[in-house]
Amino acid sequence: MLSRLRRQRLDDKRVYRVYCALRLNRARRTKRRVPRRPRVPLHAPPTLNQTWALDFMRDTLYDGRVFRTLNVLDQGNREALAIDVGFSLPSRRVLELLEQLVALHGAPATLRLDNGPEFLAGRLEQWAEQHAIGLDFIQPGKPAQNAFIERFNQTYRTEILDANVFGSLADVRTITNDWLRRYNTERPHNSLGRVPPLAFLPRPTSTLEYHNQLSA
């Protein structure tokens, strides 16, 4: 068959029409290039607002729809500052949440992030520069370099996401906000000497005010 085609003088336009009809003209997927990152040591700062760690999670509602969460943790006292919930959490939503937290607590010195597209967006870099906030990106494929929030994610997965069946995003937000209050003020942490985050290192402006605003 191939030799027969080679002997024939084929019309280029006809070949291209057949090529398109077979859907062979799709753009090739290119692997996203992630910048090389230096290894930034992981540490628990002795004060608040030195490093906030951010990470995304995903789960599904009862009807099968996928939702995501954006989790923010202060590495100083392991306090969960916020969990934003939505079907889509683009870089715009990331900045909106960070603006709310900065207005409540003041700006952190650095943000610790993975290399997700929402964090690599230019608008986040511009926002951080305007607020004099450093961006510490972990090395690609090294989630252990963001160990504090990875450990928090595991707890949130076990105690909330895997333990409940959600019918709507409102259910996720209500159950999550109630759990966050207990997590920050009641739940003991082994790494903090068996006390909750806000007992280990109290915050002048409590995160509970933020959650009360969400529940209002």
pLDDT, tens only, 72-128:
999 999 999 999 999 999 999 999 999 999 999 999 999 999 999 999 888 999 999
**Using 50, 70 and 90 to split pLDDT, how confident is the model at 64?**
very high
Question: Exposed/middle/buried for 7, CB within 10 Å: 0-12, 13-18, 19+?
Answer: exposed
> Which residues 6+ apart lie within 8 Å of 172 measured at CB?
59, 61, 67, 69, 85, 166
Is there a domain that residue 15 lies in? Answer: no
Is there a domain that residue 27 lies in? Answer: no
> Which residues 6+ apart lie within 8 Å of 73 measured at CB?
52, 53, 54, 79, 80, 81, 148, 149, 152
- Which pLDDT belongs to residue 2? 47
Is there a domain that residue 33 lies in? Answer: no
Is there a domain that residue 157 lies in? Answer: yes
Is there a domain that residue 164 lies in? Answer: yes
- Which pLDDT belongs to residue 7? 56
Is there a domain that residue 43 lies in? Answer: no
- Which pLDDT belongs to residue 216? 54
Residue 29 confidence (pLDDT) above 50: yes
- Which pLDDT belongs to residue 20? 74
**Using 50, 70 and 90 to split pLDDT, how confident is the model at 42?**
confident
- Domain residue limits at 142: 51-215
* Tokens of residue 83, six digits: 């969990």
- Domain of 174: which CATH number? 3.30.420.10
Is there a domain that residue 29 lies in? Answer: no
Task: Give the three-state DSSP class for 28.
Answer: coil
Query: pTM to 2 decimals?
Result: 0.79
Amino acid 122 reads G
Across the chain, mean pLDDT equals 87
Contact 180, 80 (CB under 8 A): yes
Number of domains composing the chain? 1
Residue from 143, 177, 185 nearest 160 by CA: 177
